C-alpha cells in the first residue's frame, strides 16, 4: 500500500474524505456519478463489486482511477479458460540464491496479482470454476492459502470483477455461492452524447496520472467508521420486511439469505457515512436494494437481459413497501 496523500486527507470528516475521493474519480469517469458513489460504498464497506456490461464502456478506467485516487496499488487479471488458481494467488518457488545451486535454501512465496488494494478481475466468467473458486477465500477472508500456509492480503482490499452479460460463448456462469460474495452488482451503461464527445476528444492524448485524493490508511479509517453508524429499530424493521417479502412473494423462487440481509445492512451504513450522516435512513435502503439484492434472488419470471427479471422484481417490492414515516 502507498500513502501519498495521507496529510491531505488526515483530519477530514468521513463525508469529506468520500467527497474528495468521489471528486477525483469523477474527473476521469464522467457522467457516472451513481456508479462512482456505489463503488466507493463497496470499498468503504469492505466489499466487492461485479460490473456487468458490454466491453469498452470504461470499467477498466473506473478500476484504475479508484485505486489511484485512494492511494492504493492496482493489479489486473485477465481471466481466460487456461488460467490456473496459482496464477491468481501466487506460488512457492525454489529460492536458489546467488550461487544458483539452491542447496538448503528451501522455497519462498511469490505473491500473485491478487495482492493489491484494488484488483480488476476482467471477464471473470471466462475462467473455469476451479479458478473462479480461487477468489472465494481471498474475497471473503482477505487472505490466500498456498501449500497450507495463509498469506494476508493488503488492506483495504476490493475486487472489481467484470463480465459481459450478452456473450455466453466459452463462458462459465458464476455459481450463486460466488455471486453472493459481491456486495454490489452494477452496470455502467453507455455515456450520454456530451460525455462521449469529451472522451473522443481526449482519445489519443496524454493522460495525466491520477493523483491520490486520500491515503489507503484513510480508507481503512472509513471502513472502521462504518461500524459506528447507527440504525434505528424502525429502519431495521423496514430492511427486514423487505428481505422477508423476497422469501414469500410469488415473484421469487428463492429469496434473500441472511448473509444478503447483512450485506444490505452494512452497505446502508456505508452509504449513510458517505452522505455525511451517522445514522441510516430508509432512503439508503431503497437506493441500495436493487444493486445489493437483485443478484441474490431467483425470480419466477426472467425477462430481457440476464438479471433483468430479478431487478424488476426487487423494484416492484419497493413500490409495494412504502418507507416508514
Domain CATH number, residue 167: 3.40.50.300
Are 194 and 265 found together in one domain?
no
313-325 pLDDT tens trace:
999 999 999 988 7
Q: Is residue 253 part of a domain?
A: yes
What is the rounded distance in angstroms from the CA atom of residue 134 to the CA atom of residue 14? 33
**Predicted local confidence at residue 71, as pLDDT:** 94
What is the rounded distance in angstroms from the CA atom of residue 155 to the CA atom of residue 137? 15
Ranges of residues in the chain with a pLDDT under 70 are 1-11, 96-105, 166-170, 203-207, 302-306
**Predicted local confidence at residue 104, as pLDDT:** 52
Q: Is residue 191 part of a domain?
A: yes
Q: Is residue 109 part of a domain?
A: no
**Predicted local confidence at residue 288, as pLDDT:** 97
Are 163 and 55 found together in one domain?
yes
Are 235 and 177 found together in one domain?
no
Eight-class DSSP state of 91: E
Are 280 and 187 found together in one domain?
no
**Predicted local confidence at residue 10, as pLDDT:** 42
Q: Is residue 183 part of a domain?
A: yes
Are 75 and 163 found together in one domain?
yes
Q: Is residue 61 part of a domain?
A: yes
Are 163 and 288 found together in one domain?
no
Q: Is residue 174 part of a domain?
A: yes
What is the rounded distance in angstroms from the CA atom of residue 47 to the CA atom of residue 295? 15
**Predicted local confidence at residue 141, as pLDDT:** 87
27-36 pLDDT tens trace:
888 889 999 9
Are 120 and 28 found together in one domain?
yes
**Predicted local confidence at residue 306, as pLDDT:** 66
What is the domain count for the chain?
2
**Predicted local confidence at residue 3, as pLDDT:** 39
Are 172 and 266 found together in one domain?
no
Are 36 and 181 found together in one domain?
yes
Residue numbers of the domain that contains 131: 11-81+116-142+152-198+216-221
What is the rounded distance in angstroms from the CA atom of residue 137 to the CA atom of residue 226? 23
SS3 140: helix
Q: Which of 189, 206, 221 delimits the end of a domain?
A: 221
Are 184 and 232 found together in one domain?
no
Neighbours of 204 (CB within 10 A): 6
Rounded to the nearest integer, the mean pLDDT of the chain is 87
Are 28 and 123 found together in one domain?
yes
Eight-class DSSP state of 279: B
Q: Is residue 127 part of a domain?
A: yes
Amino acid at each position: 500500500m502507498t500513502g501519498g496523500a495521507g496529510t491531505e486527507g488526515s483530519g477530514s470528516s468521513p463525508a469529506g474524505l468520500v467527497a474528495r475521493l468521489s471528486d477525483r474519480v469523477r474527473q476521469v469517469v464522467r457522467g457516472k456519478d451513481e456508479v462512482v458513489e456505489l463503488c466507493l460504498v463497496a470499498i468503504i464497506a469492505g466489499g466487492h463489486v461485479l460490473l456487468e456490461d458490454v466491453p469498452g464502456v470504461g470499467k477498466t478506467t473506473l478500476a484504475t482511477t479508484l485505486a489511484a485516487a485512494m492511494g492504493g496499488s492496482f493489479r489486473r487479471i485477465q481471466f481466460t479458460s487456461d488460467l490456473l488458481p496459482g496464477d491468481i494467488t501466487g506460488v512457492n518457488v525454489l529460492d536458489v540464491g546467488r550461487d544458483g545451486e539452491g542447496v538448503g535454501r528451501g522455497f519462498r512465496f511469490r505473491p500473485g496479482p491478487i495482492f493489491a488494494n484494488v484488483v480488476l478481475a476482467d471477464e471473470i466468467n471466462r475462467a473455469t470454476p476451479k479458478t473462479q473458486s480461487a477468489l472465494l477465500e481471498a474475497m471473503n477472508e482477505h487472505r490466500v492459502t498456498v501449500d497450507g500456509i495463509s498469506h494476508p492480503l493488503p488492506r483495504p482490499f476490493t475486487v472489481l470483477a467484470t463480465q459481459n452479460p450478452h456473450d455466453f460463448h466459452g463462458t462459465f456462469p458464476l455459481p450463486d455461492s460466488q455471486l453472493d460474495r459481491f456486495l454490489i452488482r452494477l452496470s455502467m451503461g453507455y455515456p450520454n452524447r456530451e460525455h462521449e464527445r469529451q472522451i473522443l476528444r481526449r482519445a489519443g492524448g496524454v493522460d495525466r496520472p491520477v493523483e491520490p485524493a486520500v491515503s489507503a490508511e484513510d480508507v481503512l479509517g472509513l471502513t472502521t467508521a462504518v461500524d459506528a453508524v447507527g440504525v434505528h429499530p424502525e429502519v431495521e424493521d423496514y430492511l427486514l420486511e423487505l428481505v422477508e417479502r423476497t422469501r414469500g412473494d410469488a415473484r421469487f423462487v428463492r429469496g434473500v439469505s441472511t448473509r444478503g440481509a447483512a450485506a444490505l445492512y452494512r452497505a446502508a451504513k456505508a452509504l449513510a457515512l458517505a452522505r455525511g450522516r451517522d445514522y441510516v435512513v430508509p432512503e439508503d435502503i431503497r437506493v441500495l436494494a436493487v444493486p445489493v439484492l437483485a443478484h441474490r434472488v431467483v425470480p419466477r419470471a426472467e425477462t430481457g437481459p440476464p438479471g433483468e427479471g430479478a431487478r424488476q422484481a426487487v423494484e416492484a417490492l419497493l413500490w409495494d413497501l412504502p418507507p416508514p414515516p
